[in-house]
Amino acid sequence: MTQIVAEHAQEFAASAEHTASTSPAPEIAVKADHLYKAFGRRPHDIVKKLEGGASREDLAHLGTAAVIDASFEVRRGEIFVVMGLSGSGKSTLIRMLNGLLEATSGTVTVGDTRITGLPAAKLRDVRRRSVSMVFQHFALLPHRSVIDNVAYGLEVQGMPRAERLAKARTIIRLVGLDGWADSMPSELSGGMQQRVGLGRALAADTDVLLMDEAFSALDPLIRREMQEQLIELQAELGKTIIFITHDLNEAMFLGDRIAVMRDGRIVQIGTPEDILTDPANDYVAQFVQDVDRARVLTAGSVMEPVRSMVTVTSGPRAALRTMRDLQTSATFVVGRDLGFVGVVRDRDVLKQVKASHPDLRPIIKEATAVSADTALVDLVELAVESDLPIAVVDARNRLLGVIPRVTLLAALGNVTTATGEVPVTEPPSTISLRVITETLRETALEGAQL
Amino acid sequence: MNDFRIPLGSWADDFIAFVTDNFSFLFDFVRTIFDGAYEFVDLVLASPPFWVIILVAAALGLMVRGWKFAVGAVIGLIVIVGVDQWQNAMDSLALVLVASVLAILVSIPLGILAAKSALASKIIRPILDFMQTMPAFVYLIPALILFRVGVVPGIVATIIFAMAPGVRLTELGIRSVDHEVVEAGEAFGASPARILRQIQLPLAMPTVMAGINQVIMLSLSMVVIAGMVGAGGLGQQVLASLSRIDVSLGFEAGLAVVILAIFLDRMTASLGTGITPIGRLLAGRKHRRQAAAVAAESPISAPVADVKTPQPAGV
């Protein structure tokens, strides 16, 4: 019985994922197809040799192969992070996406426009209307006030002054710079200057936002604040953001998906959890070694199937039997609709059974439940407070899985648990097997006699 | 050994002869223009009584640098009057102004071209080296042939000698504008002309102004040499004192050159830095307005607080 319920929960979890992935195919905002960029006297020769299988080092005497065979699609409304160390070609890559650098080979498509090979005037039009950019060192116009900087994109678009200043004022409020509109950039702190940079890009009202190491020059506290604000703004405005960084923690925090670059090649594209839990090669594995796993991994990604679970109506005897079979001292209780109710302990159930009380309800205790997207860092305290596994529930409060302490520890320490064959059962039984079996037999006999 | 001789000199001679024969109308035209410009500026400077010019100079000095400089300028110019070199000084000043303006008009566009195109830069650079290091007297010979004796060959030789720093510093200024800021202009779809006008030139302005300052100073240093071809002014006085071994005249004329040089240098140098009393006045007013805004809304903490709750906006 419990097993069936558990499987149900798994199905629910699976079907929830399923609907997410088959919901109307997300539009592609930016597409890169076999992009190459080589610097040197004869870049096309370098690309030809790369296509023929030569390595980057073999061609060092001819020039630099900055980006090699990069292909990816960025969905509308997604934060796509390109992560790599300096020299990995990520800055070159992002500059090909708005045509600041011309690709040596391959194509870039922004929206419906193929921008590779576009004449300069058309390319400028794409930049005005479709792609804006935020720079590492802010790149503000130092001789113009904050509001004129924010309105710069609109000015280039040809918007009349009064109109663009009105719009810039709204943006200045949006990025939290109220009252600084008439200041000069040099009067602002680094974080505030980058808000101006961000505001300038947002004001241009393009679908796609390119951010080149946008927060790397800020100190850590401000950086975190900006990251959080970017996510809020993105949720509000639904921009497509391509974010370049060398900071893995930043990539993991911001990215819906991450492309990891090394020596000009994209070595892996995936969600932060994909990259953390299933690195494509040793390089990525080594890279993610130092990441703050507690902040990246979520409850949903480490939870285990629910084994110890009973429905409210199944009664104390079923609960006790489940606990005996799994040798555990507690079991989760769910309602008819699989809604999470709470937990029962073996001692209470044993009393209930001995008293031949048919109802579980009086002894159900409250238990902590978290949503699947809770970061592991937030589970630690809960795990310390209670020896019970932490229940993971979906938006409709249905039990999706559990996280025993061992699982949490294993996930944080990046070691594999023996999930599957040997289930983790926590907390361990507190009453001996013999007592339970005897109680069950006695009460069963009593029941038969009655 | 002595038979080996590259006839470079006679080639140059042939070239000048060819140009004189075939393009004399062009040089006559240039001569008329330059001469007209010089006569006009000289008229403006030399015909009013000296105290009018001194007052104007003092007013300019007051606006650009402040009262101390204005007082200094008045004293310096009165010294020139006192050593009876006023007319000559005004003639020389007219020559310097005309030559400098023309040199600037040529050198800034050339500098922009050199900054925008690596090829142009490669071609222009050795020509500038040539123009700047070739002894200035040498220009006077063809200039004399082409423009005949008078002020015009002086102006032409001055332009050629003085324009090099204008080109170089304009190129340097534009090239050293923060690459990322230029890239930002490109990334928002600005055309190259707009980037030049709104980003590169304004940000290169201090360097360009330093170039203009150098052009003017070099023009002034050519005044004496221009005197050799009949340009008149202080240069002629210096040359006359040299031929007569006249120490007193030489010192007085030379001192007048120095006073003019200091005045022009300080004026143009402060234009480059933008630190002028007028600029300070504007900056001060802006600062007070901001201080008022700070007091009203205490935005030191406001931006941080606003971060958490971005207002919905019609974006």
Question: What is the share, in percent, of chain B residues with pLDDT greater than 70?
Answer: 85
Domain edge (last residue) among A261, A292, A323: A292
Give the homologous superfamily in CATH for domain B13-299: MetI-like (1.10.3720.10)
pLDDT at A43 over 60: yes
Which pLDDT value is given to residue A422?
A: 52
Which pLDDT value is given to residue A19?
A: 40
- What DSSP state is assigned to residue A396? T
What is the torsion angle, in degrees rounded to the nearest 10, for the CA atoms of residue A341, residue A342, residue A343 and residue A347? -90
Compare CB distances from B191 to A100, A124, A187 and report the shortest one's residue: A124
Which pLDDT value is given to residue B272?
A: 62
Domain of A257, CATH number, reads 3.40.50.300
pLDDT at B2 over 70: no
pLDDT tens, residue by residue, B221-233:
888 888 888 888 8
Distance CA B124, CA B163 (A): 12
Q: Exposure string (b/e) for B40-63, b if CB count within 10 Å is 16 or more?
A: ebbeebbeeebeebbeebbeebbe
Mutate to test the interface with B, among A150, A174, A194, A195 (most CBs of B within 10 A): A174
Mutate to test the interface with B, among A132, A141, A219 (most CBs of B within 10 A): A141
> Residues A245, A365: one domain?
no
Token pair, residue B110, equals: 């050339």
Task: Decide if A135 and B313 are in contact by the 8 Å CB cutoff.
Answer: no
Task: Decide if B187 and A132 are in contact by the 8 Å CB cutoff.
Answer: yes
Q: What is the arithmetic mean of pLDDT over A160-182?
A: 91
Task: Decide if B303 and A128 are in contact by the 8 Å CB cutoff.
Answer: no
Q: What is the arithmetic mean of pLDDT over B48-58?
A: 91
pLDDT at A371 over 70: yes
The domain spans of chain B are 13-299
> Residues A310, A263: one domain?
no
Q: Which residue of B has its CA nearest to A139?
A: B181
> Residues A430, A405: one domain?
yes
Task: Decide if A179 and B180 are in contact by the 8 Å CB cutoff.
Answer: no
* pLDDT band per the 50, 70, 90 thresholds, residue B115: very high
Report whether A38 contacts A46 (CB < 8 A): yes
* pLDDT band per the 50, 70, 90 thresholds, residue B95: very high
Which pLDDT value is given to residue A141?
A: 92
pLDDT tens, residue by residue, A378-418:
888 888 888 888 888 888 888 888 888 888 888 888 776 55
> Residues A306, A254: one domain?
no
Kindly report the number of other CB atoms within 10 A of residue B309's CB atom: 9
Give contacts of A98 with chain B, Cβ < 8 Å.
187
Task: Decide if A100 and B184 are in contact by the 8 Å CB cutoff.
Answer: no
> Residues A281, A309: one domain?
no
Compare CB distances from A100 to B187, B190, B290 and report the shortest one's residue: B187
> Residues A279, A310: one domain?
no
Which pLDDT value is given to residue B315?
A: 35
Whether the bond into B7 is cis, omega within 30 of 0: no
Task: Decide if B188 and A232 are in contact by the 8 Å CB cutoff.
Answer: no
Compare CB distances from A176 to B183, B203, B303 and report the shortest one's residue: B303
Domain of A351, CATH number, reads 3.10.580.10
The answer to the question of residue A10 being in a domain is no
* pLDDT band per the 50, 70, 90 thresholds, residue B1: low
pLDDT at B294 over 60: no
Which pLDDT value is given to residue A417?
A: 57
Mutate to test the interface with A, among B188, B282, B286, B315 (most CBs of A within 10 A): B188
Q: What is the arithmetic mean of pLDDT over B128-141?
A: 85
Domain range enclosing A252:
23-292
Least confident residue range of A53-62, A68-77, B81-90, B247-256: A53-62
pTM of the predicted protein model: 0.72
> Residues A69, A142: one domain?
yes
* pLDDT band per the 50, 70, 90 thresholds, residue B114: very high
Domain total in chain A: 2
The amino acid present at A98, given as its one-letter code, is: N
Average pLDDT, chain A: 83
> Residues A279, A304: one domain?
no
* pLDDT band per the 50, 70, 90 thresholds, residue A313: confident
> Residues A240, A346: one domain?
no
Task: Decide if B187 and A176 are in contact by the 8 Å CB cutoff.
Answer: no
Distance CA B309, CA A176 (A): 9
The answer to ipTM > 0.85 is: no
Give contacts of A171 with chain B, Cβ < 8 Å.
313, 315
Q: Which residue of B has its CA nearest to A97?
A: B187
Which pLDDT value is given to residue A200?
A: 93
Question: What is the share, in percent, of chain B residues with pLDDT greater than 90?
Answer: 45
Which pLDDT value is given to residue A425?
A: 64
- Measure B277 CA to nearest chain A CA, in Å: 19
pLDDT tens, residue by residue, B233-292:
888 898 899 899 999 999 999 999 999 999 998 888 877 665 555 555 544 555 555 545
Strands A257-262 and A79-83 come out as: parallel
pLDDT at A14 over 80: no
Mutate to test the interface with A, among B297, B301, B315 (most CBs of A within 10 A): B315
pLDDT tens, residue by residue, B181-237:
999 999 999 999 999 999 999 999 889 999 999 999 999 888 888 888 888 888 889
Kindly report the number of other CB atoms within 10 A of residue A99's CB atom: 23
Query: Residue A289, SS3?
Result: coil
> Residues A196, A63: one domain?
yes
pLDDT at B180 over 80: yes
Residue that is written with structure tokens 């195109």 in the block: B117
> Residues A275, A322: one domain?
no
The answer to the question of residue A2 being in a domain is no
Chains A & B: contacts with CB separation below 8 Å: 112
Distance CA A356, CA B116 (A): 93
